[in-house]
Amino acid sequence: MWLFIAFLLVPLIEIGLFIQVGGAIGLWPTLAIVVLTAVLGTWLVRAQGISAMNNLRSSFSRLDNPSEPLAHGAMILFSGALLLTPGFFTDAIGFALLAPPVRMAVIAWAKKRITVSQFEMGGQFHTQQPGPTRDDTVIDGEFREVPQGKEPNHPGSGWTRH
């Protein structure tokens, strides 16, 4: 239901804002602002996305919980989509999500409402397969011996010049 309301209200808000801003400053300045925010937003998303990826790699190397850097990265990605969408309302939300204090507030709000039942790092993934157990060090396969020299009518692999 909330998604339906968002898909209904956001375009209506954007249309209303376009009419208001276009009436106040004119068509061409309005379009210039839309293009400028898309370009500026793309540059900011790229810079913050690189920083978020570095934070995520760092949390993996320290074996820390990666959920917070992942959440930052997801919000930066979402803000990029909002900034590329033409409109003033979506741009405002997109620029707000690029601010780290806003992202921290969203993460704090989400932490109150989300419960993690199990989190484990560094362990192995275990599955149980029906039937007899097998030794994973044994690899079944077929082979045939390849002669040492090249045969005179050998066509080649196609990957090298002969």
pLDDT digit string, tens, across residues 11-60: 899 999 989 998 899 889 999 998 999 899 889 899 988 988 898 888 88
Residue 120 counted as domain residue? no
pLDDT tens track for 98-146: 999 999 999 999 888 887 666 565 555 545 455 555 556 777 778 777 7
CA-only gyration radius of the chain, Å? 27
| Whole-angstrom distance, CA of residue 44 vs CA of residue 146 | 56
| DSSP secondary structure of 91-125 | HHHHHHHTSHHHHHHHHHHHHHH--------SPPP
**Higher pLDDT, residue 17 or 149:** 17
Residue 30 lies in a domain: yes
Domain total of the chain: 1
Does some domain include residue 33?
A: yes
CA nearest neighbour of 87 among 10, 141, 160, 23? 10
Q: Is residue 83 part of a domain?
A: yes
**For residue 151, what pLDDT is reported?**
64
The pTM of this model reads: 0.64
Packing angle between helix 88-97 and helix 67-84, nearest 10 degrees? 160
* Model confidence at 96: pLDDT above 90: yes
Give the mean pLDDT of 65-88.
89
Question: Is 99 inside a domain boundary?
Answer: yes
For residue 62, being part of any structural domain is answered with yes
Range of the domain at 75: 9-113
The verdict on residue 89 lying in a domain is: yes
What's the pLDDT score for residue 63?
82
- Helix or strand run (H / E) with residue 64: none
CA distance 64 to 59: 5
